[in-house]
Structure 1
Amino acid sequence: MPDAPAPATSPSTSRSTSATIAPNILRYLVRVADAYGVDLQPLLTRVGLDPTVMGSAALRVSYRQGSDVIRRAVELTGDEHLGLRVGAAQHLTAWGLLGFAMMAADTQQDAIETGVRYQNLSGAMTVWSARWEDVGYVLRADLPDPALDPTVAVFLIEEAYSSVVTLIRLSVGTGFAPQAVEFAFSAPRDTRPFDELFRCPLRFDAARSRMVIPTRWARAAMPGRDPITYASVLDVLEKEMASRRDQQDLLEVLEISIAQSLPAVPPFPEQARRHASSERTLRRRLAECGTTYEAIVDGVRRERVEHLLARRELTLRDITRQAGFADVSALRRAVRRWHGVTPLELRTGLLERREAPTDRPRA
């Protein structure tokens, strides 16, 4: 059988700052955290996601925003299996038209391959691929960045496979169970939640994470299959993907331009000239991406500051100069706004995280 289509776009370093991800995971994370009595709204507001923004169907978030919220949510709930809970709370309708297309697909394999092809529209924070291998039909979820914070990395892999199992059971029957699931992180202290959810042989410390789907389930007919509806929805998804690629290209070009120019920041009129555009048109295009030039500059500076703080030999004055801040006070205010801590406190946390031995999932 043919392999599933490759992911629509490959992960890139700019995905950490560009707001390109539908916030489905965060919306379900809020629900699950609320059941623990944890209100995530103050945290969401701090990273720029107030209630009005979160209620917008057009909202897109960045990997950095998503990672910040996930990391803190795990700490606040104290649930080391929070990713499993969030994945199990989902439904295909959360994926909008993509979920509708998957429900209208002919077989479960077709539904999965549709999800893989249009994954950039689904709010996925992992990189999906699917293909037939010697062991069966294999679905892989890889991390967008192998250096991702371990807590966030484990959450994302748990959420990815938990949501897949949950959605397949909603689609073709509660009797579904994978043939096997492998995780590229060490076994938790309590594996019972994994056993109860997946109901199949599990393996931890694997080279890569993967789920093997039995042939009969991969070929199972979708109850809502409708070839005419399926084809019509795919036409809409193709147009949305084309628009998304244009937006992603614009954001990447701007981020690269800013990063290469630091400590100076190219003025907005200059960026408009580089794109053979008027300032008004460029601002409109950025608004369609759900962002502003100022927000992109802020994201690039933030990433640069975190990178520089991880270098012990650099003083705050060095970092201030290299990141393009007017003075050390401006740097301190920015770090406080981003992280709620001082630059030195952030440096300590970054160094501890980098130097601590971890069983980090592998991409």
Structure 2
Amino acid sequence: MVATIRAASLRGFQGLVRRLGGEPEVFLSRYRISADVLDSDDGLVPITEHDLMLDAAAAELGCPDLGLQLAESQDLSILGPLALAIAASPTVTEALQCVSRFMFVHSPALHIGVMPDPRGRRGVVALTYRKDLSESSYSPQAMELGVGLFYRVAISLLHLQGPFTGLHSVELPHQPLSPVRRYTEFFGVDAVRFGASLAALRVDQRMLDESFTTADETIRRLALDHLTRHYQEPATTVSVAVRRAVAQRLGISGLSLTQTAHLMGMHPRTLQRRLAAEGTGFEKIVDDVRREASWHYVTSTAVPFSQVAERVGFSEQAALTHAVRRWFDASPRALRVREGAGGR
């Protein structure tokens, strides 16, 4: 099963691309995203294609802060049914618990959490935003969109009219895409750190006890009941477990239905039936994982194509070339040149 994200995440994308002088239809077509899907916030888009499209649009339209600009045009409502439960929560702690539990409704590849301060400062915690890289490759623009929206939602729910005085720093895993001043102005804090171990907002621990004026226990219970009844936790699905097993064993012998079934303690036929019941199959999952890994190695590294083939589990480079042409309508060399990774 391919990891997805709700189409609401692209709210504002088409208008922004047009304002930048581009044609959103060109990007949507290139990454096989139907424009019709964007008509509904609840439509589902493959998160890898979603993220690759953001990175490509930013590069080709000369808009390094595209992710931040999209975040400025969005709000809590993009989370759909989850937004109601968050807003109705009594405190920041309960809201974070809610979004941590049900973030999969928006995308199973994205995770929100709270952890001790990675810089070891007492009285400070990190509100983390993470993408599961076993589900989809890293995207700087998508990360800035996510962290930027996370920040804006916090400001909105806390009804802060001035600076976010409890914010110590913003942590981003990649290097700056825009001038640093753009980040400090967006987040309202001088400390925006790049090359961090994880994406996070470092805040005063006391902020977790802040209450929401929108708190409503009745609405919260109804919203949580709706989420529980209508959405299944992806971690409980067999296809997600198989995808993770395949991602961990790419390039290692034993990447077969039989071997994977053995690792999961199932008979191969049982595994086939359960995957079919979830609308997928073993070969489809392997193909999806190889596609995402190939994109990463071809477009983000200078690893020789013969080694890329080995790392993603192809017996020879010709098989990689054939697959890349099928996935991306270009040879590995042309794709690397097109995405500007040849010198990395």
The farther-off stretch of 53-62 and 336-345 is 53-62
Report what 2:335 is aligned to: 346
Cα offset, 1:120, TM superposition: 1.9
Sort the Cα spacing of 1:170 and 1:261 in 2 relative to 1 into closer, same or farther, 3 A: same
Matches within 5 A, 1:94-173: 94-123=78-107, 126-131=110-115, 133=117, 134-145=122-133, 152-153=139-140, 155-173=141-159
What's the RMSD between the two structures over aligned residues? 4.3
Cα offset, 1:88, TM superposition: 1.7
C-alpha distance after superposition, 1:172-204 (max 9, x if no partner): 324253322233444556233223222223232
Aligned equivalents of 1:145, 1:315: Cα separation in 2? 20
> What's the TM-score once normalised by structure 2's chain length?
0.73
Tell me if 1:200 matches 2:159.
no
Higher relative contact order, chain-length normalized (CA < 8 Å, sep 6+): 1
The farther-off stretch of 258-267 and 167-176 is 258-267
How many residues matched? 324
Aligned to 2:306, the other structure's residue is in SS state: coil
Unmatched 5+ stretches in structure 2: 262-266
1:285 to 278, 300, 317: 278
Report what 2:169 is aligned to: 181
Aligned to 2:222, the other structure's residue is in SS state: helix
2:306 to 304, 314, 318: 314
2:45 to 54, 58, 61: 61
> What's the TM-score once normalised by structure 1's chain length?
0.70
State whether residues 91 and 211 of structure 2, in contact with CA within 8 Å, keep that contact through their aligned partners in structure 1: yes
The farther-off stretch of 87-96 and 133-142 is 133-142
Matches within 5 A, 1:206-285: 207-208=196-197, 209-214=199-204, 217-247=207-237, 249-253=238-242, 256=245, 274=268, 276=270, 283=276, 285=278
Cα offset, 1:340, TM superposition: 3.7
Report what 1:21 is aligned to: 5
Aligned equivalents of 2:56, 2:340: Cα separation in 1? 18
2:180 to 178, 183, 191: 191
- Higher strand content, 1 or 2: 2
Report what 2:264 is aligned to: none
Cα offset, 1:50, TM superposition: 1.0
Aligned equivalents of 1:35, 1:351: Cα separation in 2? 24
Aligned to 2:45, the other structure's residue is in SS state: coil
Sort the Cα spacing of 1:295 and 1:201 in 2 relative to 1 into closer, same or farther, 3 A: same
Aligned to 1:225, the other structure's residue is in SS state: coil
C-alpha distance after superposition, 1:265-298 (max 9, x if no partner): 879xx9xx8353897x855531xxxx67775454
State whether residues 324 and 332 of structure 2, in contact with CA within 8 Å, keep that contact through their aligned partners in structure 1: yes
Cα offset, 1:132, TM superposition: 6.1
Cα offset, 1:102, TM superposition: 0.7
Report what 1:86 is aligned to: 70
